[in-house]
Structures are given as C-alpha cells and as structure tokens.
C-alpha cells in the first residue's frame, strides 16, 4: 500500500523525491518522509499527514544531497506518527531505509537485536532492517567495496515476509542498494542518474527505460551504473524494458479528478485491450498463449481468483467461459481461497486477476495452485508485475495508468479481456457458433457504444443530487446483471461512504425486502432479455413499499414505472457489464462530489493492497 521513491544523480534529490511521492499519493498513505546524504551524514525529514507537509519542515530547503530515498506509509505496525514514519535509521545513524511490505518475524529480530545492544524508537517492523544491516556490517570482513552489499544481503536473508527496500549508507555516499520480495519495485535508467519507485508513473516523467527486479535480487546503484546480483550475490545481467505510456497520462488532463478522467478514458482503454487479437471474421489469437484442444478438453474445472473489483470482473468471465466453452468455472475471493484447501490439481486451470499485479492475497493463491500442479494464468495491467512473473502465462489489459483508488477503466478492460479469452478457448476447442460470431462484432463496436453511454452523464448527475443524502442504497440484478450490481454497490461504498448492498433480484423475498421502506433508493440493472420481465416483477415489490427506483437498461420497457430510467446502447449480454457499469460509476462519482468528498483518495483505502 505504501509508496517508494529513490534518486541518485547530479541534481538535488529532495525536489525529485517529493515530486515522486506526490505522484504516488493515489496509493493511500498516512505519513511521508525523505532521507538524503548531506556532507557524508544522513538527513531525515518526515512527518505524519500529507506529502505537502514536508515543504514546511525546518531545513528541508537547505538540502543539497544528490542521493536520497523517500516513502509514503500506510500504517501496519504502529499508529500514524512522526516516529513511525519512514525513513528509519539504525542506532549509529549509518544506514537509512524505506520499506514496503510486512516483516513477519520482526518480533523475533527485534528481540535478537535488543539483546545485542540495539534500541528501538518506533513501533514499526521496518526499524529492524537498518539495525540488522548494521549488525552484519560491523561483522563483515570482506573488502570495503563489497561490505555494504554483503551486509544488506545477509540482513535480507533473515527477513520473513514481503519487502521492497531502499538503503543508503553514509559511508557509501555514491551508492544505493535496493531489493525486493513479493512487493513491487522498479528501477528507472537515466543519463548519469537513476530512479527507483514502487510504481512506474511516479518516475515516468524522468525516464521510459526500466529494470524489473525479481524476488530476492539486489541492485547496487551509482550515478551512472547499476550492478545486479541474485540472492547469492552472483552477478546477473538485465535488459531494460521501455514503457510507452505518455507521462501526461498520469495527470488529470483538464478533468476535475482522476476518477472522472479514467471513466472517460474507457473507450480508449477498451480499444487498446482489444488490440489486434481478432477481427470480425478472423480467429481470436493471443501471441502469449499456446493452449491446445487436448489440454482444455481434459480440464475438470477453471478457477478465477481475485479480490474486489477484479473478482467482479471474474464473475463476468465465468459467465462467458461456462456458456461458450462448457467448462465448469468457479470464482473465488483470493483472501479466502488458500484457507479452504481448494481442490486443485493438474486438471485444474487457474486464472488470477489483479490490476496492479501486486495484490498479496492473489499472488499467494497463485503460488498455492502452482504447488498443487495447476497451470496458471495472470491477468494484469502492469507488465513485469509480480503476479505476471509468478504465473505460467500472462495476458494484459492495456488501460494505462489508473490513478484513482476506485477502479473504473481497469474493471471494464478486465471484463472485455476475459470475454476475448473465453472466445479464444472456445475456438481452440473448435466450438464455432453464431453466438461467437455475433459476440466478436459486438466487442469491436464497444468503444463507440461506451462513448454513447458517457453522454448520459448529465442525467445521472441530476439523479445523484436527489439521493446524495441517502443512508442506504440497494442494487439488484439477475444473471449477468447481478455481477454489475455487485460492482456498482462497491463503487458507491468506496467513494461516497453510503452503505449499499447488492442482491440477486429474485432473493428479495427471501429476506432483504425487510430492509425496504418508504423513500429508500433501489438501483436495478436489466440487460438480459430473458430475465427482464422477472426482474421488473421483483422491482415492483420494492415500488409498492415506497422505494425510489433507478433502472439501467437496454431493453424496451415501460419507463413510467420507475423514477428514472437510464437507457444504454443494446449489446450482447456477455459484454453488457461494460456498458451497464458506466452509469453506476458516474452515479457513485457524482454522489461523492455532491457530498464534497475526496473522490480519488477515499478514506481507509489504497490502490494496491500489497499485504494480506
């Protein structure tokens, strides 16, 4: 959840570090800090609260160091405070460290270090790292040029858990060491300077050339060189990867908020995700995949495993895979998956969805499935992310950077990619139907239909004014529309803080209808022609009990039955969630704006959940 930035070069580090932290604010945090080397001494400036607070710290304008590390913290060990903020130093003030992740054995390490004379000044797990590095540094008998590197390697060998770490040392003012395990970290290569970050957008304005570290690899950086080592300190060679994102795509481009910008970027995100995978009359192809008819025919089950919004995209994927490929498919919440001893073997295929590719629960579930012999596929928006390096196969959405915490364009990109994957599986199985032919045509038409749907924003904004003070809002749907109800409810909760629940419309009479009273708002989605009349019947039950109703539909229904009807373009039910969710994204957005809330950074939430 935290953010990391680092710089080593010829410029003043502090402005670059703070700028990077500002670009990482979307990840969610409660404190921020930077550390630089000033005249062979370590300087630390940190405080709880927003990154902008750093500008007011005494002495920050006097920093001249050209090497430094920075951090935004999301509290896991110890309350938000200046003492618990990163960076942290060892007792001798030789090392400074920032860290993302969780050190699971920090109690044990803290006890060990305390017995060896070290004192701790924070409640964090991170503070054991610089002191442990110092412990080994004092004992290290190797040559001076390798002493720093060996001490870091030995300390990291003792750490259990997840970590992305940047370390600077006052004795090595021209070097920085970084390493990672199960937590994101990238290195940006510049001219006579190098950058480090937990997320590419933070440093994309400085470079497009990046190195990606695998678990337990280390890198020692100078201003003009980077040396890479494996966990045994054997030198390794890495090639840079060029990121084609435009740096301005991480800015608001004139929109009031990132979330609104990203909602309106969905036509482009869908076009990019569809790419050249198929044309209307051609077979669907994934260059990254080579599944055979024999392999797919022998599968007993497919699992789709994800968290939150990605899990809701998985539900749409389940619908497509089962109906097009006739393979039993289950969708599981990643945080629960490992703990129910799932029935996974070599005849199980497991798909893992994560926008960031760094979701800790999803990665842990992936590792379990690999141990059980299943073939795995990762779906992510981030090339080179942890989940894509762990999985046997990976495919990517091409939504571009998503800055707002509440996911919008990543969700719709995931739904379209899952649907295309289902078509690919069906065609590999030599299942050719008119349904698949029609579905391909409808997928190619999606971007223009999304643009049409976005034109409904003013109508949705007007309705949001009427309901923004509600305490409870309910979402209903049947079939594929129930998956949209789940996502619409989640969006509303995330950014407006209104309590909302989603239910299959047919379940109303089995309990939830007791919650309906005069004036309560009920939102219903109706896009499946075969279920429209049944859903209308269910909605009539809440209308007779005094509920206000908003209906999102692409069917020919009597609109005067409801308080407001949003009519979206007609499309294939397999991909209707991509269109029907857009009015609900806008509804959540406008309600939140009407309440005066921070749309992009809702309370208690972070963009990437990189710890369990």
pLDDT digits (tens, 9 = 90+) for 54-102: 999 999 999 999 999 999 987 777 888 899 999 999 999 999 999 988 8
What is the CB-side half-sphere exposure of residue 545 using CA atoms within 13 A? 16
* Segment holding 477, helix H or strand E: strand 472-477
Token code pair at residue 236 = 């390794």
pLDDT at 609: 61
CATH tag for 252-450 (out of 3.30.2290.10, 3.40.1160.10, 3.40.50.10490, 3.40.50.720):
3.40.50.10490
| CATH hierarchy code of domain 457-594 | 3.40.50.10490
What are 558-598's pLDDT values in tens digits?
A: 888 888 999 999 999 999 999 999 999 999 999 999 999 99
What's the rounded Cα separation, in Å, for the pair 139 and 153? 13
- The structure tokens listed for 474 are 């309910």
The Cα-based distances of 115 to 109, 111, 119, 270 in angstroms read 10, 6, 9, 57
Same fold, 3-247 and 252-450: no
The set of long-range contacts for 114-123, using a CB threshold of 8 Å and a minimum separation of 24, is 118/90, 118/91, 119/91, 121/83, 122/78, 122/83, 122/84, 122/88, 123/77, 123/78, 123/79, 123/83, 123/84
In this prediction, residue 249 carries a pLDDT of 59
Rounded-to-integer distance, Cα 413 and Cα 300, Å: 27
- Please state, in angstroms and rounded to a whole number, the distance separating the CA atoms of residues 395 and 18: 34
Burial 390-410 (b: 16+ CB within 10 A, else e): bbebbbbbbbbbbbbbbbbbb
C-alpha to C-alpha distance for 515 and 584, rounded to whole angstroms: 21
Among candidates 610, 588, 486, 612, which has minimal Cα distance to 198? Answer: 610
pLDDT per position as a tens digit, 544-568: 888 889 999 999 888 888 889 999 9
Strands of 9-120 (E only): list them: 31-38, 41-48, 67-73, 88-89, 95-103
Q: Using alpha carbons, select from 420, 468, 408, 478 the residue that is nearest to residue 444.
A: 420
The Cα 496–Cα 230 span in angstroms is 46
Predicted local distance difference test score (pLDDT) of residue 532:
87
- Residues 6 or more apart whose Cβ sits within 8 Å of residue 202: 3, 5, 20, 21, 23, 24
pLDDT at 161 over 90: no
- CA pair distance 521, 564, nearest whole angstrom: 11
Containing 476, the helix (H) or strand (E) segment is strand 472-477
Least confident of 250-259, 366-375, 415-424, 425-434: 250-259
Torsion of CA 127, 181, 21, 258, to 10 degrees: -140
3-state SS assignment for residue 443: helix
Question: Residue 278: its pLDDT value, please?
Answer: 86
Tell me the whole-structure pTM to 2 decimals.
0.75
Q: Is the pLDDT of residue 251 over 80?
A: no
Q: Where are the alpha helices (DSSP H) in 372-479?
A: 386-390, 409-428, 434-454, 457-467
The CATH class that applies to domain 3-247 reads: alpha beta
Domain boundary assignment for the chain: 3-247, 252-450, 457-594
Residue 594: per-residue pLDDT: 95
- CA contacts within 13 A on the Cβ side of 200: 27
Which pLDDT does position 537 carry in this prediction? Answer: 85
Token pair of 344, please? 């996974």
Alpha helix (H) residue ranges in 434-571: 434-454, 457-467, 480-496, 532-543
pLDDT at residue 607, as a whole number: 65
Q: What percent of the chain has pLDDT over 90?
A: 71
Segment 286-299 shows an average pLDDT of 93
Give the model's pLDDT for residue 250: 58
Asked if pLDDT for residue 446 goes beyond 70, the answer is yes
pLDDT band at 518 (very low <50, low <70, confident <90, very high): confident
pLDDT surpasses 60 at 611: no
Strand 3-8 to strand 301-306: parallel, antiparallel, or no bridges (unpaired)? Answer: unpaired
- pLDDT mean across residues, the chain: 91
* Euclidean distance between CA atoms 343 and 365, whole angstroms: 13
Query: Taking 60 as the threshold, does the pLDDT of residue 612 lie above it?
Result: no
Report pLDDT for 402: 86
Residue-level length of the chain = 612
Burial (CB < 10 A; 0-12, 13-18, 19+), residue 329, is buried
Residues known to be catalytic:
2, 607
Three-class SS state of 95 = strand
How far apart (Å, rounded) are the C-alpha atoms in residues 469 and 588? Answer: 12
Q: Is the pLDDT of residue 325 over 80?
A: yes
Assign 422 a pLDDT band (cuts: 50, 70, 90): very high
Which pLDDT belongs to residue 540?
Answer: 87
Average pLDDT, stretch 310-318?
97
For 11-65, write each residue's pLDDT tens digit. 999 999 999 999 888 666 789 999 999 998 999 999 999 899 999 999 999 999 9
- Which residues are bridge partners to 565 per DSSP? 551
pLDDT of residue 312: 97
Q: How far apart are CA 129 and CA 106, in angstroms?
A: 9
């Amino acid at each position: 959840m935290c953010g990391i930035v680092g710089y080593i070069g010829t410029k003043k580090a502090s402005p670059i570090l703070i700028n990077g932290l500002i670009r990482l604010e979307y990840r969610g945090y409660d404190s921020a800090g930077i550390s630089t080397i000033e005249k062979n001494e370590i300087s630390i400036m940190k405080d709880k609260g927003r990154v902008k607070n750093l500008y007011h710290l005494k002495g920050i304008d006097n920093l001249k160091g050209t090497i430094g590390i920075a951090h935004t913290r999301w509290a896991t060990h110890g309350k938000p405070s200046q003492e618990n903020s990163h960076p942290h130093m060892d007792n001798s003030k030789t090392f400074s460290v920032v860290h993302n992740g969780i050190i699971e054995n920090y109690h044990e390490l803290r006890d060990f270090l305390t017995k060896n004379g070290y004192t701790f000044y924070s409640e964090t797990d991170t503070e054991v790292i610089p002191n442990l590095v110092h412990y080994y540094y004092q004992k290290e008998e190797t040559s001076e040029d390798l002493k720093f590197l060996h001490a870091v390697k030995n300390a990291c060998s003792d750490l259990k858990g997840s970590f992305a770490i940047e370390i600077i040392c006052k004795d090595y003012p021209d070097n920085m060491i970084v390493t990672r395990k199960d937590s994101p970290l990238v290195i940006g290569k510049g001219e006579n300077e190098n950058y480090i970050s937990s997320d590419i957008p933070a440093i994309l304005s400085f470079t497009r050339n990046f190195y990606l570290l695998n678990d337990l690899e280390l890198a020692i950086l100078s201003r003009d060189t980077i040396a890479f080592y494996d966990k045994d300190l054997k030198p390794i060679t890495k090639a840079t990867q060029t990121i084609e994102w435009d740096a301005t795509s991480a800015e608001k481009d004139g929109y009031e908020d990132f979330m609104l910008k990203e909602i309106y970027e969905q036509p482009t995100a869908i076009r990019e995700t569809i790419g050249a995978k198929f044309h209307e009359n051609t077979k669907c192809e994934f260059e990254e995949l080579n599944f055979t008819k024999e392999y797919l025919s022998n599968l007993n089950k497919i699992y789709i495993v994800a968290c939150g919004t990605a899990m809701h995209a998985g539900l749409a994927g389940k619908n497509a895979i089962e109906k097009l490929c006739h393979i039993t498919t289950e969708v599981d919440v990643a945080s629960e998956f490992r703990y129910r001893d799932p029935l996974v073997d070599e005849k199980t295929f497991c798909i893992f969805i994560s926008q960031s590719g760094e979701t800790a629960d999803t990665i842990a579930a992936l590792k379990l499935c690999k141990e059980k012999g299943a073939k795995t596929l990762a779906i992510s928006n981030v090339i080179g992310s942890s989940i894509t390096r762990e999985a046997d196969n990976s495919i990517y959405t091409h939504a571009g950077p998503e800055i707002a915490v509440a996911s919008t364009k990543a969700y719709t990109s995931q739904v379209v990619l899952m649907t295309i994957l289902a078509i690919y599986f069906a065609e590999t199985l030599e299942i050719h139907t008119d349904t698949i032919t029609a579905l391909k045509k409808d997928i190619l038409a999606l971007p223009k239909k999304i643009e049409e749907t976005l034109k409904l924003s003013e109508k949705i904004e007007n309705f949001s004014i009427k309901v923004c003070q509600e305490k409870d809002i309910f979402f209903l749907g049947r079939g594929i529309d129930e998956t949209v109800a789940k996502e619409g409810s989640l969006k509303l909760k995330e950014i407006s803080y209104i309590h909302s629940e989603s239910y299959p419309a047919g379940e109303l009479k089995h309990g939830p209808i007791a919650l309906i009273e005069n004036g309560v708002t009920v939102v219903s989605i109706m896009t499946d022609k075969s279920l429209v009349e049944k859903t209308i019947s269910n909605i009539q039950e809440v209308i007779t009990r005094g509920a206000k109703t908003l209906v999102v539909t692409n069917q020919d229904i009597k609109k005067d039955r409801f308080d407001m009807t949003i009519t979206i373009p007609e499309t294939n039910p397999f991909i209707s969630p991509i269109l029907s969710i857009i009015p609900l994204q806008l509804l959540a957005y406008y309600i939140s704006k009407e309440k005066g809330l921070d749309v992009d950074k809702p309370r208690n939430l972070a963009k990437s959940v990189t710890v369990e």
